[in-house]
Amino acid sequence: MFTKILSALMLTLLLAAPGFAEEPSKQAPQGAALVQPSASALQAPAAVPGQPAAAAPAAKAAAPTGGMPTKVKPNRAITISMFMTIIGITLCVVIWAARQTKSASDFYTAGGGITGLQNGWAIAGDYMSAASFLGMSGLISLYGIDGFMYAVGPMFSFIAILLVIAEPCRNAGKFTLGDILSFRTAPKPVRAVAAISTVTVSLFYLIAQMVGAGKLMQVLLDIPYRVSVIGVGILMVGYVVFGGMKATTWVQIIKAGLLMSGTVLLAFLVMAKAGMNPVGFFTDIVGNQLIQDHVRMNVLKDALPKAGFDYGQRFMEPGLFLKNPLDQVSLGIAWALGAAGLPHILMRFFTVPSAKEARKSIVIALFINSSFFFLINIIGFGAALYLSPQLISSVDKGGNMATLLLAQLLGGGAGSLGGDMFLAFICAVAFATILAVVSGLVLAASAAIAHDVYVNIVMDGKADQHTQVKVARITSLFVGLAAIVMGLAAEKENVVALVALAFAVAASGNFPAVMLSLFWKRFNTAGVISALLVGTISALGLVVISPVMTYPQKIADDAKKIVSTLEKKQQEGAVLAEKDLKLLDKSRTDYTKNNGQTSMVGLTAPIFPLKNPGIVSVPLGLIAAIIGTLLFRDRRAEDMFDEIEVRQITGLGISKASDH
């Protein structure tokens, strides 16, 4: 039945694709069209005062070579073949896993029978998400070194996991975050709050993956964004509902291998195009006229060049995206501590048979992810140099298509066999990324609701195995539907920013609660609830009043400044260049469209100055945990600390791996 449902769904999508392709007017707003810059835009503009002499010749290198078309038209036969290959392989995995998923332990943790090597690749697969592959490279291509900060941050998070979290969580827990936190506290209130936190973090992460999925399917099969998100969401829910953790793990392993292969190849081609000369590569970036124009007009909003200011060098300095230095610190805190509080990462420690295998899996994941995020930087800077930020942002405002465009270019250009094959391969690999990460997130969120809320709160722990699995599958369905709805609403967002917010929420609430539960004897129910509520609410509250939200009035004010500057120049008798005329028209439109409008919470400007709340919300979560604990002392929690300490060190009392 499962195979028939999925086959019917994919057949419907494939048959629908040609019809959608015939409506270009509807496609354009969703980012499928690749807008070819005008001939003048690809020529080297007049030298800007104070710029290096090499700037003008370098501009030629920025023009896409290989005949970049006005719209992506991948070879349909090749693209669909690769897509169906991925679907076929993962379907086989799900069918195989479904036959072995019989108990709640099988569904949530694959019976604890995953090896450290397998789990390491699966954890790496969880991290190497659509946000990483598409969003980080896009941020680097548009904002330079600030995007690099997003790419290196996740590498440090594994240190906290390896040294502090992995082994104790493996030995002290069972299925979910709630299991760890409720061991020596009042179980019902703690599980309820832990479930809320888990679902919140998972949904933030899920939205990012759904946006990436929609964009990918748009390019892969020429299907509109909305249809793509709905189709991919239905497919992902089917994977979790039928396959559980075992299917999710193997899909993650397969996609991690494919993604590393594609990333290595793409980074190699970038450096080969640069003559394997990293110094020359970055010198060309600094001297590239299109990058300089992008930094001046689109990022710094300077209507006219500042004399003596090197806009190319500015691209290689921090502060274009994270303008406040404290944002760098705040982002680092969220990255370093957030991973240790991510529910779908914590669940992975329960899938291995021993603490030794848990440590091994983190070491393997650290090596794989470090390599991946290093290569993403090369890909992002390569996209800026060889495509131009203008072309990338014209295709997708958030830059999420930069990697795909670069793959087509380096494969030989649009219309060439190599370009079509490489684009199709990278799209298929990225689609496999969506399959795996969404599956893990849906599983984590559904486990929190089904295991913590239904089984342990509603049923007081008395539900049989069949009922537990049934409820988990039903919950997975509703979590998936929620992800689809939110993915549709977040179409224009950069996916990596959403993931960073998920890390901030996890670092602010989950991390202090887990750490203190494992290592502070006096920690109790009040402390857990205080940490989760204050950390989560403060992170979310600061986000909605921060610069990461869209403020139409700010857009209007910036546009008004540009209009005033350029109109004054015209009144003085100067003739504006073509690019300045386009900027003037765009600014007038932006002003008219946004003037007088407010953000989703009714603000005209951000109140909180930082894009990432970690520097404030993490201390608030920790302080709340300490104050709550000291105000409401619990002798039972203190008496049970010795037991959890023995368990986390020795693994005494944990369930063994299942034989299938």
Confidence band for 280, pLDDT divided at 50, 70 and 90:
very high
Q: pLDDT, tens digit, for every residue of 92-125? A: 888 888 887 777 777 877 777 888 888 889 888 8
The 3-state DSSP class for residue 640 equals: coil
Q: Per mean pLDDT, which range of 41-55, 301-315, 354-368, 496-510 is the poorest?
A: 41-55
Architecture of domain 28-98+116-318+357-496: Up-down Bundle (1.20)
Q: What average pLDDT does this structure show over 405-410?
A: 89
Confidence band for 502, pLDDT divided at 50, 70 and 90:
confident
Q: What sections of 43-185 are H helices per DSSP?
A: 55-62, 76-100, 104-109, 116-127, 130, 137-143, 145-160, 166-172, 177-181
Confidence band for 278, pLDDT divided at 50, 70 and 90:
very high
Residue in 120, 129, 123 with CA at minimum distance from that of residue 373: 129
Q: Which of 136-145, 487-496, 594-603, 623-632 has the highest mean pLDDT?
A: 623-632
Q: What is the CA radius of gyration of the chain?
A: 25
Q: Per mean pLDDT, which range of 33-47, 128-142, 172-186 is the poorest?
A: 33-47
What mean pLDDT value characterizes the chain? 78
Q: Tell me the residue type at 416.
A: S
Tell me, what's the pLDDT at 497? 59
Between 151 and 202, the more confident residue is: 202
Between 151 and 127, the more confident residue is: 127
Q: Is the pLDDT of residue 285 over 80?
A: yes
Confidence band for 163, pLDDT divided at 50, 70 and 90:
low
Q: Which residues 6+ apart lie within 8 Å of 286 measured at CB? A: 52, 310, 312, 313, 315, 316
Q: Per mean pLDDT, which range of 366-380, 464-478, 482-496 is the poorest?
A: 482-496
What whole-number distance in Å separates Cα of residue 639 and Cα of residue 637? 6
Q: What average pLDDT does this structure show over 231-251?
A: 79
What is the chain's percent helix, strand, coil content, to nearest 5? 75, 0, 25
Q: Which of 52-66, 384-398, 526-540 has the highest mean pLDDT?
A: 526-540
Q: Are 11 and 104 in contact (CB under 8 A)?
A: no
Q: Is 35 exposed, middle or buried (0-12, 13-18, 19+ CB in 10 A)?
A: middle
Q: Is the pLDDT of residue 59 over 60?
A: no
Q: Is the pLDDT of residue 526 over 90?
A: yes
Q: Which residues 6+ apart lie within 8 Å of 291 measured at CB? A: 62, 285, 311, 312, 315, 384, 385, 388, 389
Q: What average pLDDT does this structure show over 67-84?
A: 67
Q: What's the pTM value of the predicted model, to 2 decimals?
A: 0.74
Domain ranges of the chain: 28-98+116-318+357-496
Q: pLDDT, tens digit, for every residue of 422-468? A: 888 888 887 777 777 777 788 888 888 888 888 888 888 787 777 87
What whole-number distance in Å separates Cα of residue 381 and Cα of residue 436? 27
What percentage of the chain carries pLDDT values higher than 90? 15
